[in-house]
Structure 1
Amino acid sequence: MRENKSAVLNRFFSRNTFRDIIDSTDDEIYKSVILRYVKNPENKKNVELISEIYTELKKNYRNEYYYKNTLLNKLLLGVHSINTTVALTEIPISKSKADFVLINGKAIAYEIKTELDNLDRLENQINDYYKAFDHVSVITCKENLALLENKLEIINKPIGIYVLQNNGSLSIIQKPLKYSDSLDKNIIFKILRKSEYESIIMQVYGELPQVTQFKYYSECLNLFLKVDLDKVYELFIAQLKKRTKVEKELYQNVPYELKFLTYFMDLKEADYSRLNSFLYNQFGGM
């Protein structure tokens, strides 16, 4: 029963579900979740229904989406500003994926450990993150805090610790400090897209390699590896900061519950208009 519940709630707050809604205002997962968790949904607007489903997450099933959405709302939109700070998600780093990365004056990679997770892979994940970022934090629940602190003591790096409290507030237990000893230019290069590492090479050398297509990637890598690590890291972060494009004025009107989701959907003006129409229409799933 719990597995079925987790699967359907995880799929509710997903890009696929809301892309279907934006494109056609018709999605079976959306309908099934509303009918399952909300009484008399036909008398309510979709924005109200989404809020009720999100409350279900907060009270009974604080999944990864709930944590990510809280991080984005509290840190990107609360502490920082969408005008000066960029968020990224699911960044592949070696054998791991960073759940959330926040880039302002510095870049911080966040690993999320919800009540539904264990800490078995944490050490490997943290060590991977430090290959690409010089600030790393872990966010978890208060029930996991003691175990997390024991784990981090073994890792012995200046890792930040955040706790997502039961009321939805975010507590800072320990701020992350800079640690760059593990930065790896090979790993950093693999994170970059072709246009991004080409931009870095152009900035450093003023031209791109004049070699066959077969040798092009390896030659770009060779040139990249010759650049001083501090310079590489600076240019790497600058490229990542360009990745996310958001229609800032339109994004401000998105409900709290959908902030994380819509931030990473690359929505255009017409998409926001269709989403807004859907949100303030009554439920049509009956």
Structure 2
Amino acid sequence: MSTNDSVLTRVFTQNMLRSLIDEQNNAPLLDKIIKRYEISFDGEVKNEKVISEIYQYLGKSYRNEYFYKNTLLNKLIISAHRLKTTTALTEIPVAKSKADFIMINGKAVVYEIKTELDNFDRLETQLQDYYKAFDHVCVVTSETQAKELFVRFENMPIGIYVLSSKNTIRRLKEPLEYRDLLEKDQIFKILNKPEYESIIKQINGELPNVTPVNYYKECRRIACEKSIDELYPMFLKELKKRNKIDIIDFNQVPYALRFLVYFSKFQQSQLDALSEYLNKPFEGVI
């Protein structure tokens, strides 16, 4: 990533999204991007148009990690009408890595993103980490990098997806179930307290009666006594509840912002404030 392009990463972030609904003045940052990349408009435009045009620039010239994640969410979940039956998670720590994007439906699939701006130096280590907690793993990359990955992983269970030049998601290689590296301890570490307590209640019917200092350790012991085939489905069931989306009509959310809104946990009043901002005239210099 060049120094000149780093400013683009500041637009599509949770901090930026929250500043929009708090009515902070973001015009100087957007102005800077419009001028630097010579994005032009005809006459007065609304804030939504400005943000959408900057996103279009990303798609043509600088497909960063946010662009990949937003495309995955839009193509695999929102456009496929899976919002009610599917949960997406992002940046989930697994061992020494963080899973970029996880989609949970009947199964959980990890999508590791390698954009045109990335290299593959840590890829194999990352994939091995993901297999410690999930049994379906994919790499999503560009058309120019896909051939190298296909050759490298041709005889392995790893799936390969391509973000095409037309910004569609194409499956090059189907991920296969692989459980040989699953570790019960790594699975348990991903769960938050309400999630692992739910599992303990399913196993024991009640929570352990131990001192607070020994509580986590005892819960982990109980969970890890189950076989992988027993524990893994309970683990997925809890994760699927983690980011349940109920109130958002994504037809009312600009395509460019859907990933941010999905993971924002906004209340309806905040969504209304965002919509109000997007419909206001842009206050910068066009």
TM-score after normalising by structure 1:
0.94
Aligned equivalents of 1:78, 1:194: Cα separation in 2: 33
Q: After TM superposition, give the deviation of residue 30 of structure 1 in Å.
A: 4.1
Counterpart residue identity of residue 268, structure 1:
Q
Cα 1:229–1:74 change in 2 (3 A) is same
Q: After TM superposition, give the deviation of residue 34 of structure 1 in Å.
A: 4.1
Partner of 1:94: 95
Give secondary structure in 2 for the equivalent of 1:112.
strand
Aligned equivalents of 1:41, 1:129: Cα separation in 2: 47
Show the 5 A alignment for 1:229-244.
Answer: 229-244=228-243
Cα 1:199–1:30 change in 2 (3 A) is farther
- 1:115-154 Cα deviation digits (max 9, x unpaired): 000011110111111111111111101110122123324x
Residue 55 in structure 1 maps to residue 63 in structure 2: no
Q: Which has the higher helix share?
A: 1
Aligned equivalents of 2:113, 2:18: Cα separation in 1: 25
Partner of 2:205: 206
Q: After TM superposition, give the deviation of residue 78 of structure 1 in Å.
A: 2.5
Q: Is the 8 A contact 1:12 1:33 kept in 2?
A: no
Give secondary structure in 2 for the equivalent of 1:91.
strand
Partner of 1:32: 32
Higher relative contact order (CA 8 A, sep 6+): 2
Cα 1:49–1:219 change in 2 (3 A) is same
Show the 5 A alignment for 1:183-222.
Answer: 183-222=182-221
Q: Is the 8 A contact 2:160 2:172 kept in 1?
A: yes
Question: Identity of paired residues, percent?
Answer: 49
Structure 1: gaps (5+ residues): none
Moved over 2 A (4+): 2-6, 24-42, 245-252
Partner of 2:125: 124
Give secondary structure in 2 for the equivalent of 1:232.
helix
Deviates more, 1:37-46 or 1:214-223: 37-46
Q: Is the 8 A contact 1:112 1:140 kept in 2?
A: yes
Deviates more, 1:76-85 or 1:15-24: 76-85
TM-score after normalising by structure 2:
0.94
Cα 1:254–1:213 change in 2 (3 A) is same
Give secondary structure in 1 for the equivalent of 2:22.
helix
Q: After TM superposition, give the deviation of residue 80 of structure 1 in Å.
A: 4.9
Cα 1:62–1:198 change in 2 (3 A) is same
Aligned equivalents of 1:99, 1:193: Cα separation in 2: 19
Aligned equivalents of 1:238, 1:6: Cα separation in 2: 40
* CA RMSD of superposed structures (Å): 1.7
Residue 252 in structure 1 maps to residue 251 in structure 2: yes
Partner of 2:264: 265
Give secondary structure in 2 for the equivalent of 1:89.
strand
Aligned residues: 283
